[in-house]
Amino acid sequence: MEQNAQDYRNKDVSGKGPAGRASVWPHFPVFRSRKAEVETLKAALALRGEALAGARHALEEYAARFSGLAEETQRQIQAQTASNAALAAFEQRVAELGREREAALARLVSLEASNGQLLSDRDAFLERNRAYEAALTQAERTLADIRQVWGLISEAADVILWDCVIPSMQLTLSDSFYRMLGYDREADAITWEIWRGLVHPDDRVQVNRLYHDHLIGRTDRNAAEYRLRRKDGEYRWFSASAKIAYNPDGSVQRYAGVLSDITDRKHQEAIIATLAYYDNLTGLPNRTHLLSLLEARLAGSENGGALLLLDLDNFKTVNDAFGHAFGDRLLQTVAARLAHLCESEALRVSHEGAVVTRFGGDEFMVVLEKRPEYPHPYEVADRILRILRDPICLDGRSVYLSCSIGLTMFPEDGVRADLLLKNADTALSRAKTAGRKCRVAYDTDMGVEAATRMEMEEALRGAIRNNELALVFQPQADLATRRITGYEALLRWNSRIYGNVPPDRFIPMAEECGVIHEIGHWVIRETCRFAALIPESWRGGLCVSINVSPLQFIEDGLLEKIRDAIRSFGIPSSMIAVEITETMLMENFDGIVGCLQALRADGCHIYLDDFGTGYSSLNYLKNLPIDVLKIDKSFVQDVMVHPTERKLLRAIIGMAHSLRLKVVAEGVETEAQRTFLLQARCNYMQGYLFSRPLPQDDARALLDHG
Ligand code: C2E
Ligand code: MG
Ligand code: MG
């Protein structure tokens, strides 16, 4: 438009152009009149006016045209401008669309790429899925196989197989479980909890403890025996073996195991245990049982306790005299008395507090628990001594028994069963040595003595072989005339190790270790040898007495041994007397009496020794085949101190005479004693007053002076 307008201004608006104006001006002479000039000017002006008018007109035309043009142009410009803006907008839009297209293309490319990935993933997935399905099918087949094998194994081995997956606690049980315990797989859903609930309440603590031990790795596998409840309520015993499998991270993966029914075995074991742990004869727990019980007590007792080992002092004699059947019943009676005592309310001991066991032979052991409310073990021991002193009446016979008790306490004296048993035995030996019928508690010094004692026993066994034994003879004399009436053969042991050991010490030992039989036989023969050397002139009224151990009556052949010795030394039977004690008679009346009667029939004499120390019952004297009553030295000595005892002694002597028995007073040491005894019409005396026991030559020499 600007350009157009410029072009238009430069155009010749006169309509004649520049060449026309130049041609006008040369026709006006400079000097012509003014009028001419004016005319000329006027003409020129007119011309000019015309020109101007023309120009104006042209200009107006032009202007009009221009104005139209301008408007047109303006319009065109406006249109152009609008069109330019639209174009720009369009171009911008096109550019935007281009970009969007680019982006869309890029997205398309990327989508195509991811689509490709997806497709390949899908293929891989399908591939994997196919593999999984194959594996699953295989696994299912394997599982079915395993189930079948489980079934076969469990049936073949007659066991229950079980498996519990942890932590889901999913329990799998073999069919045999349902068969053996009477449950139904469909109807009875046995979960882990139910399964645990089937364990016998008494076994649960043990089961849990063993499981825990296995869980923490204390055991390689969990082996246990426990009871499971059948559906019908019956409990069956099972031997269980189980193992835990762990995940790599250490957590528990599963717990699986096997169970086999051992109910029959358990019943057999119970029978065997009864046989093995209980004494057939008395029904009491036996030594084996005692040992396990003791071990348990030692491990679990907070209060401690005591062991009372008791031995019947005279059972062997009774057994031998009346026969084993009688002896057995006697032991049963003793067992019943002990059991009753331990269970009695009077003892205030609960069943667990005191257990009586038969330790073997005629030995019983009482295990006592120490508690403030229970009686002291000494008190229990004293009660036992008392209840066994009451005569036992069997088959119309009254048998008098007694016992010795050795006590040991735990934990004071030891905490090992074997040690405690040894202690109790040592204390028991001490009780026997102390004269039996008593209780002795162990003290530590005895341990040392026991060792010595064993050595001493060994030495005693060799005493005869080593010529360490000797007999001394203590004369007995008529109280009135002081004439020798006989001798008592008294044994001496002069040990090369222990020196002179008193008979009160070594004879009980010889009895315990059994060497008494050999020694007793030796005494019989040596006494007869001594008697054989007594001058003929003395033989008629002189008698040599032999002390006989009750155990010698047990051994068959005592009678024969005496007869044999008498025969081989060629002496009259009347020269030999046998000394027995009241206690021996109490223990084995019939057994001893038969032998004594036979001896008496042979012409031997029977002396009842130590009268006054035992029961001192005169009632039974009339039924005994005895000739002489020997009043014990302690009695004789007491008599001089207590006036009342004198009356009693007189009465005894009187009664003995009424039974046609002669009376020997032992331990006469003083003239006063002799005088009193003489007045009391005692027949003979034996004691230091007249003579101490003498070696055989010296003893025989006395006769030369008598
Ligand atoms: P016992 O049969 O009562 O023998 C009498 C004991 O009294 C003897 O003691 C004797 O030495 C002792 N005695 C004698 N007179 C007196 C006295 O006046 N005063 C005192 N205080 N004591 C006197 P021993 O020899 O020590 O014998 C003790 C016991 O040993 C005997 O008692 C007897 O039971 C037993 N014994 C001795 N020898 C034998 C034997 O060969 N076989 C058996 N089984 N036992 C025997
Ligand atoms: Mg004697
Ligand atoms: Mg005596």
pLDDT digits (tens, 9 = 90+) for 290-332: 888 888 888 876 778 999 999 998 888 788 778 888 999 999 9
Which protein residues touch ligand 1 with a CB less than 6 Å away?
474, 489-491, 502-504, 507, 523, 547-549, 579, 609-610, 633, 666-669, 686-688, 693
Tell whether the model's pLDDT for residue 46 goes beyond 90.
no
CA 397 to centroid of ligand 2, rounded, Å: 28
Measured between alpha carbons, how far is residue 690 from residues 479, 533, 536 in Å?
10, 22, 23
Q: How far is the CA of 406 from the centre of ligand 1 (A)?
A: 26
Q: What average pLDDT does this structure show over 551-559?
A: 82
The pLDDT assigned to 334 comes to: 95
**DSSP letters spanning 217-255:** TSSSSEEEEEEEE-TTS-EEEEEEEEEEEE-TTS-EEEE
Closest-CA residue, ligand 1 atom 13, reads 667
Report which listed range, 5-14, 445-454, 540-549, is most confident. 540-549
Task: Give the Å distance between the CA of 508 and the centre of ligand 1.
Answer: 13
Which of 245-259, 365-379, 468-482, 580-594 has the weakest average pLDDT? 580-594
Q: List, as ranges, residues with CB under 5 A of the ion ligand 3.
A: 609-610
Above 90 in pLDDT, residue 1? no
Q: What is the pLDDT of residue 30?
A: 56
Q: Count other Cβ atoms within 10 Å, centred on residue 35.
A: 10
What average pLDDT does the structure give for the chain? Answer: 85
Burial (0-12, 13-18, 19+ Cβ within 10 Å), 373 = exposed
8 A C-beta contact, residue 545 and residue 486: yes
Highest mean pLDDT (candidates 208-212, 441-445, 634-638): 208-212
Higher-confidence residue of 19 and 234: namely 234
* Share above pLDDT 90 across residues of the chain, in percent, rounded to a whole number: 44
pLDDT at 12: 44
Q: Which residue has the tokens 């396990």?
A: 292
Task: Tell me what the mean pLDDT of segment 672-684 comes to.
Answer: 95
**How does pLDDT run across 442-452, given as a tens digit for each residue?**
987 776 666 67
Q: What are phi and psi of 689, to 5 degrees?
A: -60, -40
Is the pLDDT at 354 greater than 70, yes or no? yes
pLDDT single digits (tens) 381-399: 999 999 998 889 888 888 8
Nearest to 616 by CA among 579, 581, 578, 658: 581
The residues facing 611 across adjacent strands are 631
Answer whether residue 633 shows pLDDT above 80: yes
Q: Label the pairing between strands 235-246 and 222-229.
A: antiparallel
Percent of the chain at pLDDT > 70 equals 87
Distance CA 212, CA 244 (A): 11
563-611 pLDDT, tens digit per residue, is 999 999 999 999 999 999 877 776 667 778 889 999 999 999 999 998 8
484 pLDDT higher than 70: yes
Nearest atom in ligand 1 to the alpha carbon of residue 669 is 18
Cβ contact 348:379 at 8 Å: no
Residue 4: pLDDT band (50, 70, 90) is very low
State the Cα–Cα distance between residues 436 and 695, nearest whole angstrom: 30
pLDDT score at 492:
96
Cα(649)–Cα(633) distance, rounded to whole angstroms?
12
> Which are the contacts of 678, defined by CB distance < 8 A and separation ≥ 6?
479, 480
Read off the tokens for 419.
Answer: 């040690």
Cα distance between residue 249 and residue 149, in whole Å: 30
Confidence of residue 10 (pLDDT cuts 50, 70, 90): very low
Asked whether 337 and 388 are in contact (CB, 8 A), the reply is yes
Atom of ligand 1 nearest to the CA of 693: 11
Using CA positions, which residue lies closest to atom 26 of ligand 1?
503
Q: Angle, nearest 10°, between helix axes 633-641 and 643-658? A: 130
Residue 121 pLDDT > 60: yes
Confidence of residue 646 (pLDDT cuts 50, 70, 90): confident
Q: What is the CA(475)–ligand 3 centre distance, in A? A: 13
What's the CA-to-centroid distance between 662 and ligand 1, angstroms? 19
